[in-house]
Amino acid sequence: SLTAGIVGLPNVGKSTLFNAITQAGAEAANYPFATIDPNVGVVEVPDARLQKLTELVEPKKTVPTTFEFTDIAGIVKGASKGEGLGNKFLANIRQVDAICHVVRCFDDENITHVAGRVDPIEDIETINLELILADMETVEKRLAKVEKLARQKDKEALAEYEVLTKVKEAFEKELPARTVEFTEEQQKIVKGYQLLTQKPVLYVANIGEDDIGNTEDNEYVKMVREYAKKDNAEVVVICARIEEEISELDPEEKAVFLEELGIEESGLDQLIRKAYHLLGLATYFTAGVQEVRAWTFKRGMKAPECAGIIHSDFEKGFIRAETVSYDDLVKYGSMSAAKEAGKVRLEGKDYVVQDGDIMHFRFNV
Ligand code: GDP
């Protein structure tokens, strides 16, 4: 499954956030196959639709879908020079599908800042530069290989040469590969290099307890938002310390606490939602009297592939899927009422599943 890696300079709040993630962790009983890796935190994806479906269907149990975060340790500064822990840091980033980059946006005299003062942009650039330097090495190695062939007018080499020089120009301006515009064909080429700066990025602005409720007044947050725009990245604002506290509460207590703080959704829930979205993930549901359950799929997946997420036999023997959208099911109140209204469709193997679809797969065994 896809995972988002948590990175950041020392003392910015990574461990605090990761603690919140593992404490909020998904109920192990529902996910016996979840990896037992201390660096991986599995959380349930918050989804209000699941609650509503549970009210409608009244199943014996309800199972949310999950999302994984990976804690990426290692030394950041000088990582691209490739020694020991620094190398490990880059290798670990290579493994993840998206990057959650925690940035310190709180003032606290008692907590040392590695650079001696709080400066979120400088922090961001420190890490980004290491990633760019590592990617630059990849690109230059590849350039050396294709340059000669490109001069001999080899078609594939020419196409690659064009992509590589384009990326290199961006790196020279200290811009990540994800800011470069490519044609569809070029996209395929650049994907093959597995560049670190091509991965989607979410900046996690970690604010102090006092700033919660008026996050947009925080000057550091403004700076991060501004930076993210030109960096083609997204931003989520959290207070890791508060999230750690929230993660210890049960759902009712959590609701009360959030109301007291005057916020609708916890920072961690926002982080999960945004990371999920950033990775191009979506949710479909199965809804029966035994179980109402949410399933994660990649946007663009067709019905048989989505069936295969439940069980490979479902994909192999796929016949068709009985499908209704979440909105229609809620509007008509029951499966049979939705059917009467002609809202339940029979979809074949080419159907592209939509976020919120309720799926009932029919298959041969
Ligand atoms: P890491 O080195 O990035 O993993 O950072 P830690 O999670 O260990 O946090 C470093 C210090 O900052 C710890 O003392 C945390 O309690 C503190 N810290 C983390 N988040 C916040 C926050 O939102 N507000 C304040 N005041 N301190 C925080």
Atom of ligand 1 nearest to the CA of 17: 7
CA 7 to chain centroid, in Å, comes to 13
- CATH number for the region 127-197 comes to 1.10.150.300
pLDDT band at 116 (very low <50, low <70, confident <90, very high): confident
The yes/no answer to whether this complex scores an ipTM above 0.90 is yes
Least confident span in 73-77, 102-106, 200-204: 73-77
What percentage of the chain has pLDDT greater than the value 70?
Answer: 95
Q: Which residue in 161, 98, 164 sits closest to 136, CA to CA?
A: 164
The finding on whether 300 has its CB within 6 A of some atom of ligand 1 is no
Tokens standing for 101?
Answer: 């980059």
Check residue 34 and give its pLDDT. Answer: 58
Least confident span in 214-218, 293-297, 361-365: 214-218
Tens-digit pLDDT profile for residues 124-147: 999 999 999 999 999 999 999 999
pLDDT band at 57 (very low <50, low <70, confident <90, very high): very high
Q: What residue numbers does the annotated binding site for ATP cover?
A: 11-16
Query: For residue 299, which phi and psi values (nearest 5 degrees)?
Result: -50, 135
Using an 8 Å Cβ cutoff, are 231 and 170 in contact?
Answer: no
Q: How far is the CA of 107 from the centre of ligand 1 (A)?
A: 11
Q: How far is the CA of 12 from the centre of ligand 1 (A)?
A: 6
Check residue 191 and give its pLDDT. Answer: 94
Q: How far is the CA of 35 from the centre of ligand 1 (A)?
A: 27
Q: Which residues contact 63 (CB under 8 A, 6 or more apart)?
A: 30, 291, 292, 293, 294
Region 196-209: what's the mean pLDDT?
95
pLDDT band at 37 (very low <50, low <70, confident <90, very high): confident
Which residues of the chain are in CATH 3.40.50.300 domains? Answer: 3-46+64-116+200-278
Which residue's alpha carbon is at the smallest distance from atom 9 of ligand 1? 13
The preferred substitution site among 76, 215, 239, 241 for testing ligand 1, maximizing ligand atoms within 8 Å of CB, is 241
Check residue 262 and give its pLDDT. Answer: 85
Region 317-330: what's the mean pLDDT?
96
The finding on whether 13 has its CB within 6 A of some atom of ligand 1 is yes
Distance separating alpha carbons of residues 197 and 292, to the nearest angstrom: 38
Which residue's alpha carbon is at the smallest distance from atom 10 of ligand 1? 11
Tens-digit pLDDT profile for residues 221-242: 999 999 999 899 999 999 999 9
The finding on whether 18 has its CB within 6 A of some atom of ligand 1 is no
Which residues of the chain are in CATH 3.10.20.30 domains? Answer: 300-363
Region 248-269: what's the mean pLDDT?
91
The finding on whether 104 has its CB within 6 A of some atom of ligand 1 is no
Question: What homologous superfamily does CATH list for 300-363?
Answer: Beta-grasp domain (3.10.20.30)
Region 37-66: what's the mean pLDDT?
92
Does the structure show a pLDDT above 80 at 36? Answer: no
What's 95-109 look like in SS3? HCCEEEEEEEECCCC
Atom of ligand 1 nearest to the CA of 106: 24
Whether the CA torsion 305, 311, 312, 314 is positive or negative: it is negative
In CATH, what is the architecture of 3-46+64-116+200-278?
Answer: 3-Layer(aba) Sandwich (3.40)
The finding on whether 8 has its CB within 6 A of some atom of ligand 1 is yes
Least confident span in 142-151, 207-216, 293-302: 207-216
Instruction: Report the chain's mean pLDDT, rounded to a whole number.
Output: 91
Q: Which residues contact 319 (CB under 8 A, 6 or more apart)?
A: 362, 363, 364
Q: Which residue in 282, 292, 359 sits closest to 320, CA to CA?
A: 359
